[in-house]
Protein backbone atom coordinates (compact mmCIF):
# COMPACT_ATOMS: atom_id res chain seq x y z
CA UNK A 1 0.00 0.00 0.00
CA UNK A 2 3.03 2.28 0.01
CA UNK A 3 4.05 4.73 2.72
CA UNK A 4 1.04 7.06 2.53
CA UNK A 5 -1.19 7.12 5.61
CA UNK A 6 -4.82 7.88 4.86
CA UNK A 7 -6.59 10.03 7.41
CA UNK A 8 -10.27 9.40 8.02
CA UNK A 9 -12.18 12.02 9.98
CA UNK A 10 -14.27 10.21 12.56
CA UNK A 11 -17.61 11.81 13.50
CA UNK A 12 -19.35 10.05 16.37
CA UNK A 13 -22.86 11.23 15.57
CA UNK A 14 -24.79 9.50 18.40
CA UNK A 15 -24.08 7.33 21.43
CA UNK A 16 -27.61 5.92 21.71
CA UNK A 17 -27.72 2.17 21.09
CA UNK A 18 -30.37 -0.57 21.10
CA UNK A 19 -27.81 -3.40 21.43
CA UNK A 20 -26.63 -5.16 24.58
CA UNK A 21 -23.08 -6.13 23.56
CA UNK A 22 -21.46 -7.46 26.71
CA UNK A 23 -18.24 -5.43 26.40
CA UNK A 24 -19.37 -2.02 25.16
CA UNK A 25 -20.09 1.06 27.26
CA UNK A 26 -22.73 2.31 24.79
CA UNK A 27 -24.92 -0.79 25.44
CA UNK A 28 -28.60 0.09 25.91
CA UNK A 29 -28.68 -1.03 29.53
CA UNK A 30 -25.83 1.22 30.69
CA UNK A 31 -27.62 3.98 32.64
CA UNK A 32 -24.32 5.60 33.71
CA UNK A 33 -23.92 7.34 30.38
CA UNK A 34 -25.41 10.66 29.26
CA UNK A 35 -26.73 10.15 25.75
CA UNK A 36 -26.44 12.59 22.82
CA UNK A 37 -27.34 12.77 19.16
CA UNK A 38 -25.75 15.36 16.84
CA UNK A 39 -27.89 17.58 14.61
CA UNK A 40 -27.68 17.75 10.83
CA UNK A 41 -25.90 21.11 11.03
CA UNK A 42 -23.40 19.93 13.64
CA UNK A 43 -22.53 16.92 11.48
CA UNK A 44 -22.08 19.11 8.40
CA UNK A 45 -19.76 21.42 10.34
CA UNK A 46 -17.55 18.45 11.19
CA UNK A 47 -17.52 17.33 7.54
CA UNK A 48 -16.40 20.82 6.52
CA UNK A 49 -13.62 20.61 9.10
CA UNK A 50 -12.50 17.35 7.47
CA UNK A 51 -12.13 19.18 4.15
CA UNK A 52 -10.22 22.05 5.80
CA UNK A 53 -7.79 19.56 7.34
CA UNK A 54 -7.23 17.87 3.99
CA UNK A 55 -8.81 14.51 4.87
CA UNK A 56 -10.28 12.42 2.06
CA UNK A 57 -12.94 10.52 4.00
CA UNK A 58 -15.40 11.05 6.81
CA UNK A 59 -16.69 8.17 8.91
CA UNK A 60 -20.18 8.60 10.36
CA UNK A 61 -20.20 6.33 13.40
CA UNK A 62 -22.83 5.77 16.10
CA UNK A 63 -24.39 3.16 18.30
CA UNK A 64 -27.28 1.34 16.61
CA UNK A 65 -29.63 4.30 16.99
CA UNK A 66 -32.98 4.28 15.22
CA UNK A 67 -33.41 7.91 16.29
CA UNK A 68 -31.01 8.47 13.37
CA UNK A 69 -33.74 7.98 10.82
CA UNK A 70 -33.23 6.59 7.32
CA UNK A 71 -33.95 9.92 5.65
CA UNK A 72 -31.77 11.96 7.99
CA UNK A 73 -28.75 9.78 7.16
CA UNK A 74 -29.61 9.84 3.44
CA UNK A 75 -29.84 13.64 3.50
CA UNK A 76 -26.47 13.92 5.25
CA UNK A 77 -24.82 11.57 2.73
CA UNK A 78 -26.30 13.48 -0.24
CA UNK A 79 -25.26 16.83 1.17
CA UNK A 80 -21.68 15.71 1.90
CA UNK A 81 -21.34 14.11 -1.53
CA UNK A 82 -22.72 17.21 -3.25
CA UNK A 83 -20.81 19.82 -1.29
CA UNK A 84 -17.43 18.11 -0.77
CA UNK A 85 -15.04 15.64 -2.47
CA UNK A 86 -15.14 13.36 0.60
CA UNK A 87 -15.71 9.63 0.56
CA UNK A 88 -18.40 8.66 3.08
CA UNK A 89 -18.01 5.65 5.34
CA UNK A 90 -20.92 4.51 7.54
CA UNK A 91 -20.52 2.66 10.83
CA UNK A 92 -24.05 2.54 12.24
CA UNK A 93 -24.47 -1.05 13.39
CA UNK A 94 -26.72 -3.86 12.19
CA UNK A 95 -29.31 -1.70 10.46
CA UNK A 96 -31.80 -3.45 8.13
CA UNK A 97 -30.49 -4.22 4.65
CA UNK A 98 -33.24 -2.16 3.08
CA UNK A 99 -31.90 0.95 4.83
CA UNK A 100 -28.25 0.33 4.04
CA UNK A 101 -29.34 -0.16 0.41
CA UNK A 102 -31.02 3.26 0.45
CA UNK A 103 -27.87 4.83 1.92
CA UNK A 104 -25.74 3.19 -0.76
CA UNK A 105 -28.01 4.71 -3.41
CA UNK A 106 -27.68 8.06 -1.64
CA UNK A 107 -23.92 7.85 -2.26
CA UNK A 108 -22.34 6.13 0.76
CA UNK A 109 -19.08 4.44 -0.28
CA UNK A 110 -18.08 2.15 2.59
CA UNK A 111 -19.52 0.38 5.64
CA UNK A 112 -17.68 -0.67 8.80
CA UNK A 113 -19.05 -3.50 10.93
CA UNK A 114 -16.56 -5.40 13.02
CA UNK A 115 -17.56 -9.01 13.57
CA UNK A 116 -15.54 -8.98 16.86
CA UNK A 117 -14.79 -12.73 16.78
CA UNK A 118 -15.52 -15.46 14.25
CA UNK A 119 -15.91 -17.99 17.09
CA UNK A 120 -19.68 -18.49 16.97
CA UNK A 121 -20.04 -19.71 20.56
CA UNK A 122 -18.11 -16.73 21.95
CA UNK A 123 -19.89 -14.34 19.58
CA UNK A 124 -23.29 -15.47 20.84
CA UNK A 125 -22.22 -15.33 24.47
CA UNK A 126 -21.27 -11.65 24.22
CA UNK A 127 -24.06 -10.61 21.78
CA UNK A 128 -27.25 -11.78 23.52
CA UNK A 129 -29.63 -10.35 20.92
CA UNK A 130 -28.25 -12.51 18.13
CA UNK A 131 -28.36 -15.76 20.05
CA UNK A 132 -31.51 -16.97 18.30
CA UNK A 133 -29.67 -17.09 15.00
CA UNK A 134 -27.58 -20.13 14.21
CA UNK A 135 -25.32 -18.18 11.90
CA UNK A 136 -22.91 -15.32 12.49
CA UNK A 137 -25.18 -12.39 11.70
CA UNK A 138 -22.47 -9.74 11.25
CA UNK A 139 -20.43 -11.92 8.88
CA UNK A 140 -23.59 -12.48 6.82
CA UNK A 141 -24.32 -8.76 6.83
CA UNK A 142 -20.81 -7.97 5.57
CA UNK A 143 -21.40 -10.30 2.62
CA UNK A 144 -24.70 -8.54 1.88
CA UNK A 145 -23.05 -5.11 2.13
CA UNK A 146 -20.45 -6.17 -0.42
CA UNK A 147 -23.23 -7.26 -2.81
CA UNK A 148 -24.78 -3.80 -2.44
CA UNK A 149 -21.53 -2.34 -3.76
CA UNK A 150 -20.05 -1.05 -0.53
CA UNK A 151 -16.38 -1.37 0.30
CA UNK A 152 -16.63 -3.41 3.49
CA UNK A 153 -14.74 -3.22 6.75
CA UNK A 154 -14.70 -5.96 9.36
CA UNK A 155 -12.43 -6.66 12.25
CA UNK A 156 -12.03 -8.02 15.73
CA UNK A 157 -11.13 -7.23 19.30
CA UNK A 158 -8.00 -8.95 20.58
CA UNK A 159 -8.09 -10.57 24.02
CA UNK A 160 -11.82 -10.85 24.69
CA UNK A 161 -12.25 -12.99 27.84
CA UNK A 162 -12.73 -16.54 26.57
CA UNK A 163 -11.06 -15.89 23.19
CA UNK A 164 -8.36 -18.39 22.27
CA UNK A 165 -5.23 -17.67 20.24
CA UNK A 166 -6.39 -20.33 17.81
CA UNK A 167 -9.65 -18.49 17.22
CA UNK A 168 -7.68 -15.30 16.43
CA UNK A 169 -5.81 -17.26 13.77
CA UNK A 170 -9.19 -18.34 12.41
CA UNK A 171 -10.31 -14.67 12.37
CA UNK A 172 -7.45 -13.91 9.99
CA UNK A 173 -8.67 -16.68 7.68
CA UNK A 174 -12.10 -15.03 7.75
CA UNK A 175 -10.55 -11.65 6.81
CA UNK A 176 -9.22 -13.36 3.72
CA UNK A 177 -12.43 -15.27 2.91
CA UNK A 178 -14.55 -12.12 3.12
CA UNK A 179 -11.99 -10.30 0.97
CA UNK A 180 -12.29 -7.34 3.35
CA UNK A 181 -11.49 -3.89 2.01
CA UNK A 182 -10.86 -2.55 5.53
CA UNK A 183 -9.80 -4.34 8.71
CA UNK A 184 -10.07 -2.80 12.18
CA UNK A 185 -8.14 -4.56 14.94
CA UNK A 186 -7.93 -3.30 18.51
CA UNK A 187 -7.28 -4.73 21.95
CA UNK A 188 -10.25 -5.51 24.19
CA UNK A 189 -10.35 -2.90 26.99
CA UNK A 190 -12.41 -3.78 30.06
CA UNK A 191 -15.31 -1.41 30.85
CA UNK A 192 -16.59 -1.61 34.47
CA UNK A 193 -20.22 -0.82 33.51
CA UNK A 194 -20.57 -3.87 31.28
CA UNK A 195 -21.21 -7.58 31.98
CA UNK A 196 -17.75 -8.63 30.74
CA UNK A 197 -16.13 -5.86 32.76
CA UNK A 198 -17.90 -7.23 35.85
CA UNK A 199 -16.66 -10.76 35.16
CA UNK A 200 -20.03 -12.02 33.92
CA UNK A 201 -20.76 -13.69 30.55
CA UNK A 202 -17.23 -15.09 30.54
CA UNK A 203 -16.52 -18.40 28.85
CA UNK A 204 -14.02 -20.38 30.83
CA UNK A 205 -11.09 -21.70 28.87
CA UNK A 206 -7.68 -22.98 29.92
CA UNK A 207 -5.56 -19.97 30.96
CA UNK A 208 -2.79 -20.88 28.51
CA UNK A 209 -5.30 -20.70 25.62
CA UNK A 210 -6.51 -17.18 26.46
CA UNK A 211 -5.41 -14.58 23.91
CA UNK A 212 -3.72 -11.64 25.59
CA UNK A 213 -5.38 -8.23 25.24
CA UNK A 214 -1.93 -6.68 24.91
CA UNK A 215 -0.49 -4.18 22.48
CA UNK A 216 2.03 -6.83 21.39
CA UNK A 217 -0.68 -9.34 20.44
CA UNK A 218 -2.52 -6.57 18.59
CA UNK A 219 0.62 -5.70 16.60
CA UNK A 220 1.00 -9.35 15.63
CA UNK A 221 -2.62 -9.45 14.46
CA UNK A 222 -2.16 -6.29 12.39
CA UNK A 223 1.03 -7.65 10.81
CA UNK A 224 -0.60 -10.99 9.95
CA UNK A 225 -3.71 -9.27 8.58
CA UNK A 226 -1.44 -7.17 6.34
CA UNK A 227 0.37 -10.28 5.04
CA UNK A 228 -2.86 -12.14 4.33
CA UNK A 229 -4.80 -9.11 2.97
CA UNK A 230 -2.15 -7.02 1.21
CA UNK A 231 -4.71 -4.73 -0.44
CA UNK A 232 -6.77 -3.85 2.62
CA UNK A 233 -6.90 -0.51 4.37
CA UNK A 234 -5.90 -1.19 7.98
CA UNK A 235 -6.10 1.48 10.69
CA UNK A 236 -3.90 1.87 13.73
CA UNK A 237 -6.87 2.04 16.08
CA UNK A 238 -7.81 4.27 18.99
CA UNK A 239 -8.03 1.29 21.34
CA UNK A 240 -4.42 0.41 20.51
CA UNK A 241 -3.31 4.00 21.19
CA UNK A 242 -5.27 3.88 24.43
CA UNK A 243 -3.22 1.00 25.85
CA UNK A 244 0.09 2.04 24.24
CA UNK A 245 1.16 5.67 23.81
CA UNK A 246 3.21 4.63 20.77
CA UNK A 247 0.22 2.70 19.37
CA UNK A 248 -0.27 4.81 16.26
CA UNK A 249 3.39 4.79 15.26
CA UNK A 250 3.97 1.10 16.02
CA UNK A 251 0.64 0.06 14.45
CA UNK A 252 1.68 1.86 11.25
CA UNK A 253 5.09 0.16 11.33
CA UNK A 254 3.46 -3.25 11.70
CA UNK A 255 1.35 -2.92 8.56
CA UNK A 256 -1.39 -0.37 9.25
CA UNK A 257 -1.84 2.47 6.74
CA UNK A 258 -4.77 4.46 8.15
CA UNK A 259 -5.34 6.75 11.14
CA UNK A 260 -8.79 7.98 12.15
CA UNK A 261 -8.58 11.32 13.98
CA UNK A 262 -11.77 12.34 15.77
CA UNK A 263 -13.70 15.34 14.49
CA UNK A 264 -16.46 14.92 17.06
CA UNK A 265 -16.92 18.11 19.12
CA UNK A 266 -15.12 17.65 22.47
CA UNK A 267 -18.32 17.90 24.56
CA UNK A 268 -19.73 14.83 22.78
CA UNK A 269 -16.41 13.04 22.44
CA UNK A 270 -16.13 12.49 26.18
CA UNK A 271 -19.55 10.81 26.12
CA UNK A 272 -18.59 8.32 23.40
CA UNK A 273 -17.29 5.93 26.04
CA UNK A 274 -17.11 2.58 24.29
CA UNK A 275 -14.41 1.79 26.88
CA UNK A 276 -12.84 3.98 29.60
CA UNK A 277 -10.02 6.50 29.07
CA UNK A 278 -10.27 6.45 25.29
CA UNK A 279 -7.40 8.41 23.80
CA UNK A 280 -7.74 10.28 20.53
CA UNK A 281 -4.85 11.17 18.22
CA UNK A 282 -4.10 14.49 19.90
CA UNK A 283 -4.24 12.97 23.40
CA UNK A 284 -1.26 10.77 22.55
CA UNK A 285 0.76 13.77 21.47
CA UNK A 286 2.10 16.30 23.97
CA UNK A 287 2.66 18.92 21.25
CA UNK A 288 -1.00 19.14 20.29
CA UNK A 289 -3.41 18.37 17.47
CA UNK A 290 -1.72 19.90 14.43
CA UNK A 291 1.43 17.81 14.59
CA UNK A 292 0.13 14.58 13.08
CA UNK A 293 2.01 15.37 9.89
CA UNK A 294 5.25 15.78 11.89
CA UNK A 295 4.65 12.50 13.71
CA UNK A 296 4.15 10.69 10.42
CA UNK A 297 7.29 12.27 8.99
CA UNK A 298 9.36 10.99 11.92
CA UNK A 299 8.51 7.43 10.91
CA UNK A 300 9.03 8.05 7.20
CA UNK A 301 5.36 8.37 6.35
CA UNK A 302 3.12 11.14 4.97
CA UNK A 303 -0.61 11.83 4.69
CA UNK A 304 -2.35 10.22 1.72
CA UNK A 305 -4.21 12.35 -0.79
CA UNK A 306 -7.75 11.68 -2.01
CA UNK A 307 -10.36 9.19 -0.82
CA UNK A 308 -7.87 6.34 -0.36
CA UNK A 309 -10.15 3.49 -1.35
CA UNK A 310 -9.04 -0.09 -1.77
CA UNK A 311 -6.35 -0.71 -4.36
CA UNK A 312 -6.56 -3.77 -6.55
CA UNK A 313 -2.93 -4.75 -6.82
CA UNK A 314 -3.24 -8.47 -7.43
CA UNK A 315 -5.52 -10.67 -9.53
CA UNK A 316 -8.38 -11.91 -7.36
CA UNK A 317 -7.26 -15.57 -7.57
CA UNK A 318 -3.87 -14.70 -6.13
CA UNK A 319 -5.40 -13.67 -2.82
CA UNK A 320 -7.52 -16.78 -2.26
N1 LIG B 1 -12.79 -2.62 24.23
C2 LIG B 1 -12.27 -2.51 23.00
N3 LIG B 1 -12.99 -2.27 21.88
C4 LIG B 1 -14.32 -2.14 22.05
N5 LIG B 1 -15.29 -1.94 21.16
C6 LIG B 1 -16.46 -1.89 21.80
N7 LIG B 1 -16.27 -2.06 23.12
C8 LIG B 1 -14.95 -2.24 23.30
C9 LIG B 1 -14.13 -2.50 24.43
N10 LIG B 1 -14.63 -2.62 25.66
C11 LIG B 1 -15.04 -1.87 19.72
C12 LIG B 1 -15.81 -2.96 19.00
C13 LIG B 1 -16.77 -2.19 18.14
C14 LIG B 1 -16.04 -0.90 17.94
C15 LIG B 1 -16.88 0.25 17.50
O16 LIG B 1 -15.46 -0.65 19.19
O17 LIG B 1 -14.91 -3.72 18.19
O18 LIG B 1 -17.07 -2.83 16.91
Taking the C-alpha atoms of residue 309 and residue 257, their distance in angstroms, rounded to an integer, is: 12
Give the position, in ligand 1's atom list, of the atom nearest the Cα of 191: 10
Taking the C-alpha atoms of residue 82 and residue 100, their distance in angstroms, rounded to an integer, is: 19
Q: Ligand 1 atom 16: the closest Cα is on which residue?
A: 274
| pLDDT band at residue 287 under the 50/70/90 scheme | low
Give the position, in ligand 1's atom list, of the atom nearest the Cα of 114: 18
Neighbour tally for 183: CB within 10 Å: 29
Task: Identify whether the C-beta of residue 233 lies closer than 8 Å to the C-beta of residue 308.
Answer: yes
pLDDT beyond 70 at 288: no
CA-based nearest residue to 256, from 285, 229, 290, 294: 229
- Mutate which of 20, 137, 157, 162 for ligand 1 pocket (most atoms within 8 A of beta carbon): 157
* Alpha helices by DSSP H, the chain: 40-52, 70-83, 97-106, 120-126, 137-147, 165-178, 215-228, 238-243, 247-253, 266-269, 292-298
| pLDDT band at residue 143 under the 50/70/90 scheme | very high
Q: Ligand 1: which residues within 6 Å by Cβ?
A: 23-24, 114, 116, 157, 186, 188-189, 191, 239, 274-275
Residue range 131-138: mean pLDDT, rounded: 87
Tell me, in angstroms, the distance from the centre of ligand 1 to residue 186's CA.
Answer: 8
Task: Identify whether the C-beta of residue 157 lies closer than 8 Å to the C-beta of residue 117.
Answer: yes
Residues in the chain: 320
Residue 7 DSSP SS3? strand
Indicate yes or no: pTM above 0.75.
yes
Burial class, 270, CB count within 10 angstroms (exposed 0-12 / middle 13-18 / buried 19+):
exposed
Tell me, in angstroms, the distance from the centre of ligand 1 to residue 272's CA.
Answer: 11
Can you give the pLDDT at residue 289?
A: 56
Burial class, 245, CB count within 10 angstroms (exposed 0-12 / middle 13-18 / buried 19+):
middle
Amino acid sequence: MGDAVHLRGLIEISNHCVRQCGYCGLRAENANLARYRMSFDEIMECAEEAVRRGYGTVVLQAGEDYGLETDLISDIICKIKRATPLAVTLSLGERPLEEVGIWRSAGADRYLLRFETSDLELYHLIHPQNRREKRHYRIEMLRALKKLGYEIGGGVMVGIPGQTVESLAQDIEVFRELDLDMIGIGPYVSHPDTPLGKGEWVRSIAPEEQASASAEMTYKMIALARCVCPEANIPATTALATIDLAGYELGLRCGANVVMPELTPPAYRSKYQIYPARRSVEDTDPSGPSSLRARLKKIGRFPGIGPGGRHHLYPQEALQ
